[in-house]
Structure formats: structure tokens, C-alpha cells
């Protein structure tokens, strides 16, 4: 029996419209991980991104339910959340981090997309939000040395 920790990575949804670098990056890596890795897809599935509020809320609820099912059924020990620093993504993915900690799983958050605007949000308007991330994660990863300082 494999005693390696099982990892669940949250990635952008696999759709015909999602051609972003992050989606492609994780698709290429999928066959090269040395630990058992599963993906949980979240985020918009179609263009335009937001059809209406009801549809988006329903999709988000389905993403959270799928996440719970993946963590429990696959006996996941580590959750890796890959999120941009856009305000919608930050709020959406914080819920995944809180759920991971509620389920007593290790949680790693990878922030990408550093910008001056994101820095201002972190320092001022959403400082409380980033403190919640710190309370609900075991590790934070960023792409730049500058973001580590803040």
C-alpha cells in the first residue's frame, strides 16, 4: 500500500475556452509528479465568464461540493490552492483553504499575478483577508521576492 501523502491541486477548469498558462502548466506536469496527485477544477467554464449571478453561484457551490468529495473520497492529505491575486479569486479560494483546514488537511496556497494594485489591497483594504489566509494555510508560495517582503 502506498504511504505517500495524496495531494489535491485546485486548478482552473478544463474547458475549450480555458487556454491560460496555469491550466497548461498543470496539464503538462500531471504525469511527472512523484506523489499521487489529483486535480479539482474550479472557476468559470464558459465565455462570457459571468452569464448571471444565479448560474455563477450554482457553479461555485458545485465546485465546493466537488472539492469536499475529492478530499474525502480520495483521502487527500495535502491541498494545493493555486490562486491569482484578483479580488474574486482571493475570496473564492480562501473558502477552499478554510474547508481544507476544517477537514484537517495541510494547505498550501500559491499566489500568482503580483501587481501594485494587489499590493495595495493586501496592505490596506483586504489586510484582514490575507490574515485569514495565514491562519488557514500551512505554507504560502509567491512568484516574486518583493511579495515575500510584504
Domain spans in the chain, listed from the N-terminal domain onward: 7-149
Q: Tell which residue, 25, 4, 13, 118, has the closest CA to residue 56.
A: 13
| CATH class belonging to 7-149 | alpha beta
What local confidence, expressed as pLDDT, does residue 80 receive?
95
Number of Cβ within 10 Å of residue 94's Cβ equals 19
Q: What is the mean pLDDT of residues 127-144?
A: 83
What local confidence, expressed as pLDDT, does residue 46 receive?
65
Of 22-36, 51-65, 97-111, the range with the highest mean pLDDT is 97-111
Question: What 3-state DSSP class applies to 148?
Answer: helix
9 has which bridge partners?
A: 39, 80
Q: What is the pTM of this model?
A: 0.82
Which contacts of 85-89 are long-range, i.e. CB under 8 A and separated by 24 or more positions? Answer: 85/111, 85/112, 85/113, 85/114, 85/115, 85/118, 85/121, 86/113, 87/121, 87/126
Amino acid at each position: 500500500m502506498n504511504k505517500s501523502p495524496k495531494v489535491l491541486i485546485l486548478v482552473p477548469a478544463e474547458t475549450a475556452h480555458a487556454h491560460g498558462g496555469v491550466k497548461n502548466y498543470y496539464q503538462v506536469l500531471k504525469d511527472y509528479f512523484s506523489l499521487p496527485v489529483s486535480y479539482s477544477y474550479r472557476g468559470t467554464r464558459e465565455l462570457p465568464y459571468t452569464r448571471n449571478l444565479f448560474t455563477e453561484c450554482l457553479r461555485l457551490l458545485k465546485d465546493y461540493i466537488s472539492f469536499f468529495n475529492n478530499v474525502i473520497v480520495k483521502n487527500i492529505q495535502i491541498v494545493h490552492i493555486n490562486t491569482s491575486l484578483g479580488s474574486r479569486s482571493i475570496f473564492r479560494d480562501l473558502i477552499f483553504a478554510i474547508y481544507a483546514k476544517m477537514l484537517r488537511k495541510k494547505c498550501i496556497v500559491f499566489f500568482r499575478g503580483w501587481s501594485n494594485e494587489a499590493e495595495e489591497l493586501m496592505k490596506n483594504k483586504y489586510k484582514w483577508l490575507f490574515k485569514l489566509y495565514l491562519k488557514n494555510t500551512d505554507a504560502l508560495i509567491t512568484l516574486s521576492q518583493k511579495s515575500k517582503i510584504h
